[in-house]
Amino acid sequence: MEMTERKEKILAAVVEKYIQTGEPVGSKSLVDILGFPVSSATVRNEMAELSEMGYLEQPHTSSGRIPSSKGYRYYIEHLMTAYEMSPVEKGLINSKLMESSGDPQSVLEKTGNILADITKCAAITTTPSDVEAVIKKVELVPIGTRTAMVVMLTSTGILKTRVCRTVSEITIDVAESFYNIVKSNFVGKPASELSIAKIQTLALSLGEKALVMTPLLVALSDAAKMTERTELLLEGQTNLLNHRELEYNAFELMEFLRRAEPLNKVFSSYSGKDGVPNVLIGNENMFKELQNSTMIFSKYSIGNHESGTLGIIGPTRIDYARLIPSIKYLTEVVGIILSDNLED
């Protein structure tokens, strides 16, 4: 059997009808919406062949058909007409994101809220991470006479802070010495190179300043280590409870989402593919907890480097034509905002 043009039109109609109603689609209901003259018996035969080919499934003996993971995949890659977002929709997303502060985590939390709201699914975002991140700027913020916060900004927009105590008072001279040491040894260099061993070697050359500088430099080293860790941000998990298709495993899925390691493994297994979102449907997912679900996710870039991921997890019956372009647009906007913040 081969995929003919008529089969394609019937498959597209089944997918779109099922997405709209959530009910198995019968041959009689398709005759009225196909747009070309065909008998119910012919449609029924074609649907039977599509089932044999693995594109449709029959949940009950007497019911109509629903798309399989393979059917959704064929629809997305060959039949789907992607929804074109209006200027008003884009403007609304832009205005909501611009309400966030320049901090990447704040921007990504807002992105997750927007995604969960417009998709009615669980939204996932990851904070920027790049083992090749370069230290762009370091600030020292005194909190008390012997307590200070070390703030580090990297080339990927990551902002990390560590609070430390020193044995001596943090004077203006101490702060200036700290800035000079940091500028000479660390700014413009990879954060991954800022190790405790390097701090210890540097401390040996500082003479009497080593006593007050060492705690500050150790705090900076700790901040540098934190940039290599990706934090997973979740929004809208309870949306999963509202989908009938997930009623038997919604809580299992919500528990799975709390574990960052498996999701990070999924994200790291797929590239950005020129900004086109990745779509994993049903049994295409590598973890059994996700095999009744769809994941749509995309990589955002900061300064032309892939830095993190944003996307959704929901049932396989979702409006792919609308959600894929929405996620693609959000990914682009987040990348632009975080890249602009880095230049400010």
Indicate the residue type of 177.
S
Do 190 and 321 reside in the same domain of the chain? no
Do 170 and 315 reside in the same domain of the chain? no
Q: Is the pLDDT of residue 3 over 70?
A: yes
Indicate the residue among 79, 106, 121 that finishes a domain: 79
Do 258 and 337 reside in the same domain of the chain? yes
Do 102 and 65 reside in the same domain of the chain? no
Residue 61: pLDDT band (50, 70, 90) is: low
The DSSP code sequence of 67-114 is: E-HHHHHHIIIII-------HHHHHHHHHHHHTS-SSHHHHHHHHHHH
Do 236 and 117 reside in the same domain of the chain? yes
- Average pLDDT value for residue range 313-321: 95
Do 201 and 161 reside in the same domain of the chain? yes
Q: Of 126-135, 246-255, 293-302, 329-338, give the lowest mean pLDDT range.
A: 126-135
Indicate the residue among 195, 226, 257 that finishes a domain: 226
CB neighbour list of residue 81: distance below 8 Å, 6 or more residues apart: 321
Do 186 and 145 reside in the same domain of the chain? yes
Do 149 and 288 reside in the same domain of the chain? no
Q: Counting Cβ atoms within 10 Å, is residue 1 exposed (0-12), middle (13-18) or buried (19+)?
A: exposed
The tokens describing 179, both together, are 């800035």
Per-residue pLDDT tens digits for 45-57: 999 999 999 999 9
State residue 239's pLDDT score: 94
Do 237 and 95 reside in the same domain of the chain? yes
Q: Where are the beta strands (DSSP E) in the chain?
A: 56-57, 66-67, 122-126, 135-142, 147-154, 159-165, 232-235, 278-281, 293-302, 305-315
Per-residue pLDDT tens digits for 69-87: 999 999 999 999 999 999 9
Q: Is the pLDDT of residue 235 over 90?
A: yes
Backbone angles phi, psi at 56, to 5 degrees: -125, 160
What CATH number does residue 211 fall under? 3.30.390.60
Separation between Cα atoms, residue 16 and residue 75, nearest integer Å: 9
Per-residue pLDDT tens digits for 185-195: 999 988 888 88
Q: Is the pLDDT of residue 101 over 70?
A: no
Do 123 and 271 reside in the same domain of the chain? yes
State residue 344's pLDDT score: 57
Indicate the residue among 178, 196, 226 that finishes a domain: 226
Do 105 and 144 reside in the same domain of the chain? no
Do 54 and 186 reside in the same domain of the chain? no
What CATH number does residue 264 fall under? 3.30.450.40
* Arithmetic mean of pLDDT over the chain: 88
Q: Counting Cβ atoms within 10 Å, is residue 187 exposed (0-12), middle (13-18) or buried (19+)?
A: middle
Q: Of 241-245, 252-256, 338-342, give the lowest mean pLDDT range.
A: 338-342
State residue 72's pLDDT score: 96
What CATH number does residue 51 fall under? 1.10.10.10
**DSSP character at residue 212:** H
State residue 158's pLDDT score: 76
Q: Is the pLDDT of residue 343 over 80?
A: no
Per-residue pLDDT tens digits for 255-266: 898 888 888 888
**What is the domain range of residue 147?**
135-226
CB neighbour list of residue 257: distance below 8 Å, 6 or more residues apart: 122, 124, 234, 237, 263, 313
Number of domains comprising the chain: 3
Q: Is the pLDDT of residue 226 over 90?
A: no
